[in-house]
Amino acid sequence: MDIIDDDIYISDSEEERIPETRLKTGINLRELVQMDQPIVFQVQDTILEDTFDKEQADFYQNENLLKNIKLECHGGNDDNDDDEGSSISPFQKMALKMHNLTEDGSVKKKILRAGEGPQIPEGASVTVHYNAYLEFNEEPYDSTYMRGKPETFRLNAYQLIQGLEIGIATMKKKEKSQFLISPELAYKELGVPPRIPGNSELLIEVELISFLDDQAANLMDSESAKSQTFKDFYKAAQGNITGGNDAFTNNNIRLAIKKYNTALNILENRCKLSNDEEESKQRKLVVKVCVNLAVCYNKIGSSKQACVKCRNALYHDAKNAKALFNFGRALLMLGDYDEAHRRLTAALKLAPNDTSISEELKLLKEKKNKFQVSEKQMMQRMFSSKPAATKSNEKIETAKVSEHFYETVKKTLDDLMSSQNKVLTLPSGLTAQEEVCLRKEAEKRGMKVIVTSQGGANDITIAKKDDKE
């Protein structure tokens, strides 16, 4: 059996131990054990000393590396090892001493040194030192300590991996903590070759030096922005749009709205336009952002905000089918059926093959028909001479109206509250006392009563209050 191994070291007995050295040639172990006489390997002392001194110098030449080695990542430096602990991986062992920051445990935290003062506010600019480790490797793959300079990042600006964003957001000034981050909230299955393999769990040790709140960070940004060009601002806007798209895909609509509005603010208020080409690029991106915002606002039921963004988009591009479609959808939710029909029809002319527009027009027709039937029935109940049965003996103090009218008003308003319609328009013909009754019951339900005079008669519209109001 012939063995040649460059990593085999041979040394003398413990009584006369000399520094170890690497053998330059292989050893035939069969021949070695069959020899009758012992064999002695001799080397020159000067060579051994020189070799030892060089290896020692190479190992200790970087003092920073020694300070930042984390033996726990390799399963070492644990005085509490037991049978159970030895059967799990180093990161699993460390996780036992951490608490979850996310419900599924994708981000875990251990405080090494408590901080002081308030927790970091949303959108803050943070200055940190950190070491980042992979499992089974005690040396950091990235370290601000070894570079000798902390780094500054803006939270919620997609400058950090998601897991580290979650972790840093829980810290206080001067705090030092460890975060164990799953691949899903780090670099996922792709990794960052060759340093970070795919599906790598990360251990990141962070020291929070300082932070600036959102307002102060914006002020700092505005100072640095003086030297920035259109290209810089355009790229920043695109970055926020990408962040908004990611948030929307993950169904975080509120965050998507924040990202899109940040992009819109950059494009409309901070971009420095020097020529027609830059203006054209800016306008196209403004339209895109406004349409995205309209989609988000419609999704959370803020229809009025959606209308505002659609108008902005159409100001820059009057024939944008997506803006017209989302405008029509918002108006439909507000109960403005005629105007919604006009916008959706215009969108269909521009995009005749878009089935979503056709479906929205079909929905509009159904809602309008249903509303008209409901309105007709309500009017019949309201002006019917036959009194309706009532379980309530509640007194009407503010207006002298029939109990039948009073009960009909309450039922009509309750029906409006439970429906998706935003407004209800009543025909003229109510008496002053009936208008007072109607207004009182509407206000009880948080609704607004709008009275307009046309041709000597009062037209009454009841509207639900917008979520933002």
Domain 228-366 has CATH 3.20.20.80: no
Q: At 315, is the pLDDT very low, low, confident or very high (cuts 50, 70, 90)?
A: very high
* pLDDT tens-digit readout, 197-233: 999 999 999 999 988 776 656 655 655 556 678 888 8
Greatest Cα pair distance in the chain: 129
DSSP, collapsed to helix, strand or coil, labels residue 56 as: helix
Q: What is the pLDDT of residues 135-191, one digit of tens each?
A: 998 899 999 998 888 998 888 888 899 999 999 999 998 999 999 999 999 999 888
Q: Would you say 286 and 316 are in contact if contact means Cβ atoms under 8 Å apart?
A: yes
Tell me how far apart the alpha carbons of residues 316 and 318 are, in angstroms, rounded to a whole number.
Answer: 6
Which run of H or E residues covers position 206?
strand 202-212
Q: Where in the chain is the domain with CATH 3.30.1370.50?
A: 384-464
Least confidently predicted of 143-157, 205-219, 260-274, 348-362: 205-219
The single residue listed with the structure tokens 């979850």 is: 100
Phi-psi region of 123 (alpha: psi -120 to 50; beta: other; left: phi over 0): left
Q: What percent of the chain has pLDDT over 70?
A: 71
Calpha distance 251→335 (Å, rounded): 26
The torsion angles phi and psi of 33, rounded to 5 degrees, stand at -75, -20
Do 323 and 313 touch, CB atoms closer than 8 A? yes
Phi, then psi, of 449 in degrees rounded to 5: -115, 120
Q: Where does CATH 3.10.50.40 sit in the chain?
A: 85-216
- The fraction of the chain above a pLDDT of 90, given in percent, is 33
Task: Name which CATH class applies to 85-216.
Answer: alpha beta
Q: Within 13 Å of residue 96, how many CA atoms lie on the same side as its CB?
A: 12
Q: Examine the pLDDT at 333 and tell me if it is beyond 90.
A: no
3-state helix, strand, coil in the chain (%, to 5): 50, 15, 35
**Would you mind telling me the total number of residues written for the chain in this entry?**
469
Q: What is the pLDDT of residue 395?
A: 47
CA distance 442 to 409: 9
Whether the link from the prior residue into 194 is cis, omega within 30° of 0, is yes
Tokens of residue 17, six digits = 């131990």
- Do residues 275 and 299 make contact, with C-beta atoms less than 8 angstroms apart? no
Indicate the pLDDT class of residue 309, thresholds 50, 70 and 90: very high
Give the DSSP H or E segment for 165. helix 162-168
- Nearest residue to 416 (alpha-carbon basis) of 449, 384, 393: 449
Q: Residue 370, CB half-sphere, CA atoms under 13 Å: how many?
A: 12
Per-residue pLDDT band for 379 (boundaries 50, 70, 90) equals low
Least confident range from 69-78, 285-294, 443-452: namely 69-78
What pairing do the DSSP bridges indicate for beta strands 447-454 and 423-426?
unpaired
Tell whether the model's pLDDT for residue 381 goes beyond 70. Answer: no
Domain 384-464 fold is Ribosomal Protein S8; Chain: A, domain 1 (3.30.1370)
Q: How far apart are CA 374 and CA 361, in angstroms?
A: 20
Instruction: Calculate the average pLDDT of the chain.
Output: 78
CA distance 405 to 31: 115
Euclidean distance between CA atoms 22 and 8, whole angstroms: 7
Domain span(s) for CATH 1.25.40.10 in the chain: 228-366
